[in-house]
Amino acid sequence: MTGRRRWVPYLGIAVIVAYCLAPFYWMLVSSLRRANDIFDSAPVPTPLSLESYRAVFGSSNGFVRSLGNSFLVAGITTVLVLLIGTLTAYALARLDFRFKNVVLAVIITTSMFPGISLLVPLLQLFSGIGWINTYQAMIVPSMSFALPLAVWNLTAFFKQMPLELEEAAQIDGCTPAQAFRKVILPLAAPGVFTTAIITFIAAWNEFIIALSVVNKQELKTAPVIISQFTGLTQFDSPFGTQMAAGVVVTIPLVVLVLLFQRRIVAGLTAGGVK
């Protein structure tokens, strides 16, 4: 009986992992089917076909360029969010001023607005200042959605760091800025990495804003290009090419998480124990 109980947690973990990976597995399997077999229910495609991948990379749909656009938009968004969010969170964690909790509440509240509700005002604003069909039209809204969550996460992370660390550094001759850069920031690396990954994934997957503010083919991001795929023939459904493109777009995120999984786990569990 004790042996059976020991295997119960592992069985539960296996079920959760299978449930989470099942959509990605089916996407991978569907991307390896021929166009005529796309609705086949077999768990393994027979025969294996790379025609969907050849269509994704070999046609003139601009998918390769859209990957570069997605990397550019997500990368710049992540860097700016970390730069602004880290400084803002540190100030909120260390400075004492009236209504600080209200400021934090307002910051996190701004992230709760659905993106679609802000679409019309953004279109009017960007049309007025000439930002339609520009990279900044995709970067700035992505920042506005990611920055509140970054500030909230990093503020909680900085609050748990002892103030004595900075005081000791200043006694040794550091200025407040040097104490932050040389002592606090390295210790905050797990939280910063976790925030960076979350921000990059959110910016990488952003769709509705990129679809609305950009109509030039050479500026479109990967999610927008994938939504506009056509089939391999004139009357073909684009399911195969969309699945293949979905696999390609997901791979960078998987690699990113695998490379920094230790820092991500450390950032998510920081503060759990004293």
Please provide the average confidence, as pLDDT, over all residues in the chain.
85
Angle value at C-alpha 68, between 62 and 69, nearest 5 degrees: 85
Q: Distances from the Cα of 184 to the Cαs of 95, 160, 161, 198, 213, in angstroms? A: 15, 11, 8, 21, 39
Q: Would you state the pLDDT for residue 273?
A: 46
Ramachandran angles phi, psi of 42, nearest 5°: -65, 140
What is the pTM assigned to this prediction? 0.85
Q: Please write down the HEC assignment for all residues of the chain.
A: CHHHHHHHHHHHHHHHHHHHHHHHHHHHHHHCCCHHHCCCCCCCCCCCCCHHHHHHHHCCCCHHHHHHHHHHHHHHHHHHHHHHHHHHHHHHHHCCCCCHHHHHHHHHHHCCCCHHHHHHHHHHHHHHHCCCCCCHHHHHHHHHHHHHHHHHHHHHHHHCCCHHHHHHHHHCCCCHHHHHHHHHHHHCHHHHHHHHHHHHHHHHHCCHHHHHHCCCHHHCCHHHHHHCCCCCCCCCCCHHHHHHHHHHHHHHHHHHHHHCHHHHHHHHHCCCCC
Q: What domains does the chain contain, in order, with CATH numbers? A: 62-228 (1.10.3720.10)
Q: Would you state the pLDDT for residue 268?
A: 56
Residue 189 has pLDDT above 90, yes or no: no
pLDDT tens per residue, range 50-99: 888 888 887 667 899 999 999 999 999 999 999 999 999 998 888 888 88
Residue 270 has pLDDT above 80, yes or no: no
Residue 115 has pLDDT above 70, yes or no: yes
Contact 13, 25 (CB under 8 A): no
Which position has the higher pLDDT, 60 or 7? 7
Q: Would you state the pLDDT for residue 160?
A: 83
Considering only CA atoms, which of 214, 206, 216, 212 is closest in space to residue 121?
Answer: 212
Residue 274 pLDDT grade (very low, low, confident, very high; cuts 50, 70, 90): very low
Residue 272 has pLDDT above 80, yes or no: no
Residue 134 has pLDDT above 90, yes or no: yes
Place of tokens 């495609």: 45
Q: Distances from the Cα of 154 to the Cαs of 84, 93, 212, 219, 274, in angstroms? A: 11, 9, 31, 32, 18
Average pLDDT of 123-144? 92
pLDDT tens per residue, range 196-255: 988 999 999 999 999 999 999 899 999 999 988 876 555 567 888 889 999 999 988 888
- Residue 109 is encoded by which pair of tokens? 């509240």
Q: Would you state the pLDDT for residue 118?
A: 83
Residue 110 pLDDT grade (very low, low, confident, very high; cuts 50, 70, 90): confident
Residue 258 pLDDT grade (very low, low, confident, very high; cuts 50, 70, 90): confident
Backbone Cα Rg of the chain: 23
Place of tokens 């009017």: 124
Residue 148 has pLDDT above 60, yes or no: yes
